[in-house]
Each structure stands twice: as C-alpha cells, then as structure tokens.
Amino acid sequence: MNILIIGGAGYIGAHVAREFMDAGHKVTAYDNLSSGLEQNIFDGEDFIEGDTMDFIGLIDVMRRGFDAIVYLAAFKSAGESMLRPEKYAVNNIGGAIHVLNAAAESGIKYFIFSSSAAVYGDPQYLPIDEKHPLNPSNFYGFTKLEVERLLEWYDKLKGLRYAALRYFNAAGYDLNQRVTGLERNPANLLPIIMETACGTRKEVIVFGGDYDTPDGSGVRDYIHVTDLARGHTAALEALAKTGTSLVVNLGGGNGISVLEMISAAKRITGRDIPYRITDRRPGDPAKLTASSEKARGLLGWKALYSGLDTLISSSWKVYSK
C-alpha cells in the first residue's frame, strides 16, 4: 500500500517508515523537521517538508493518493505540556483536526494514530489494560485522548477506519543501525543515559528514589521502537482485513526501574554513568506497566526485542559512533 507518515522523520517515525518499507509498502514522510531529521529519510522513501498546520498543503499532498495515513507528529513532553498547554493544544489537537479533515476530504481509508499511555493518568491497577479509566493527569495525555475522541466521530460520520495505538515508553534503536539520528535535547530516560555514557552530559538526574518500588526509583514499561513499529504494520493489516477500528496498548511487557536501566547501561557500555537522586518529578506515577493482551489477540502482535539488554545495546551501537 501507499502510506503517508506524518512525522516520518522523527525517532519513532523513522523506525515506523523502516518497518513499512521492509513489509513492501511505498512510504512518503511528511515532516516539518521541528524535531525530525532529514538524515532519517531512507533511500526509496519520498520526503515532503510540511506542517500539520498547513491544511491546504495537507490536502494537496493527500490528493496524490494514499491508502493509509500514520499520524505521529505531536509534541510529547508531559512536563512541558503543563507549562505551555497552548502550544500543545494548537499542535497536538489543532494539527490533528487539519490532518483528519484533509484525510476525510481526500477519501483516505485507514488512519493509524500514535496515542499514549498518558491517556490513562494515575494507574488504578497494574498492568494497565484498555478498560482502565481514561483520566489523563497531564495536558499532553489530554491532547492524545481528545484526538482519540475525534477519531471515534470521524469513524462514525466519515467512515475513517482507525487504529489508536497507546504507546508506553519507546526506547532502543533499529537492530541493524539503519536509523542513526539522535534526538536533540531528549527528555526521555534512555537517551539521557546514553548522552551521559558518551560524556556529552554530566550526569543523570534520577527523579525520586523513594517510590514504593523495589529500588525506590520509578518503574516503566519500555518497548523497543522496532516492536512499536511492528505494531503499526500489524494494525494496518488488521484494519484492511476487518474494516473495524481498534484501540490497543503497545508495551514491552516488563517493568524496568530507572536504577536498573542505569546499572545495565554501565554494564553494557563499560562506561561510568554518574547519577544523582533528587526530588520526584510532579505527576510521575511510581510504576506504569501495560497489558498488551488485546494487541496480541487483535493484531497477533507481541514484543520481541524489548528486553533490557537489547534496548540498551541497540541504543549504544548508535550513540557510541
């Protein structure tokens, strides 16, 4: 199929593009390069520089004829979203409205949306499944949930069949180092650990060491970005086969703590990784782990590469170059 990946030059977008190309699809990346990198565009992949705020531009591109849209372009820092909600409202919700309206106008059949575990808010039980209450505790999670609600209506009223994929913590790099772009000013844990291992960052600040977890540091469900990408190709296959929209979690299936990540990184990189434990980050839950049973059932998908050592070694192969 002919796939348009909006946000296709980003860290996740590049891995999603790679997976669709490996599965034989024709891929075009649409990206404003605000955080995406042109070096992430592959040979054989078309690239169009553009912004989701440019409705006419989106229509013009989509009229070229695509079978499916993968919509990833959004700001993703939960912390920043609480300080600058207006920026997140315009880009994550306003941008989504333009993309959805252009898709509906252009008769696009399938729509894959990168949603987030942040739609759940504070966990009431673990592992979190898709029946968990939807009560975002940060504005970023609110924007993702709002887009999911728009998708429900566009399915009903415009026949747009969608897959909303609720990502847990994406990490790692392509196992064959085919994606080499490093995120600029990362906020997520593993890139920060990698920069510290490289010596381009002085230390890792550990946000809280007094959580009710085995070593006191925060536990998250890390999913290898290639497993995440495989969830996208599996979701499109399911949409094409059943014509029924779906919402699933995509998680790696194992809870890893901050301190476990740091000590494993020391072991694998052979580098010292200084860290300092400070206060908790407001809004952080102690532990977040996903049930991906629904994705296994609906998509026949399960994580293959999300083990701790693979997450770190695949990242280190890129960062150490």
> Would you name the residues annotated as active-site residues?
140
Strands 219-224 and 255-257: antiparallel
The rounded distance, in Å, linking the Cα atoms of 116 and 91 is 16
Residues that bind ligand WQD (rule: CB under 6 A) add up to a total of: 20
Residue 167 sits in the site that holds ligand WQD (CB under 6 A): yes
Q: Is 169 in the site for ligand WQD (CB under 6 A)?
A: yes
Considering only residues 271 through 290, tell me which ones interact with ligand WQD, judged by CB under 6 A: 281, 284
In whole angstroms, how far apart are CA 118 and each of 67, 81, 201, 241? 29, 12, 27, 29
Kindly indicate which of the ranges 39-47, 55-63, 113-121, 122-130 contains the residues binding ligand WQD, using the contact rule CB under 6 A.
113-121
Q: How far apart are CA 187 and CA 108, in angstroms?
A: 34
**Which of the ranges 54-62, 105-113, 204-212, 223-231 carries the binding residues for ligand WQD, by CB under 6 A?**
204-212
Residue of this chain nearest to ligand WQD (CB atom): 218
Do 18 and 179 touch, CB atoms closer than 8 A?
Answer: yes
**Contact residue for ligand WQD among 220, 224, 230, 232 (CB under 6 A):** 220
Around 220, how many Cα atoms within 13 Å sit in the side-chain half-sphere?
22
CA-wise closest residue to 114 among 87, 90, 145: 145
User: Of the two residues 30 and 207, which places its CB atom closer to ligand WQD in the complex?
Assistant: 207
Check if the beta carbon of residue 115 is closer than 8 Å to that of residue 142.
no
| Residue 127 in the binding site for ligand WQD (CB under 6 A) | no
Is residue 92 within the footprint of ligand WQD (CB under 6 A)? Answer: no
The mark string for 246-265 relative to ligand WQD (x by CB under 6 A, - otherwise) is: ------------x-------
Q: What count of other Cβ atoms lies within 10 Å of the Cβ of residue 153?
A: 11
Query: Does residue 116 bind ligand WQD (CB under 6 A)?
Result: yes
| Beta bridge pairs of residue 257 | 219
The binding site for ligand WQD (CB under 6 A) comprises 76, 78, 116-118, 167, 169, 187-189, 192, 204-207, 218, 220, 258, 281, 284
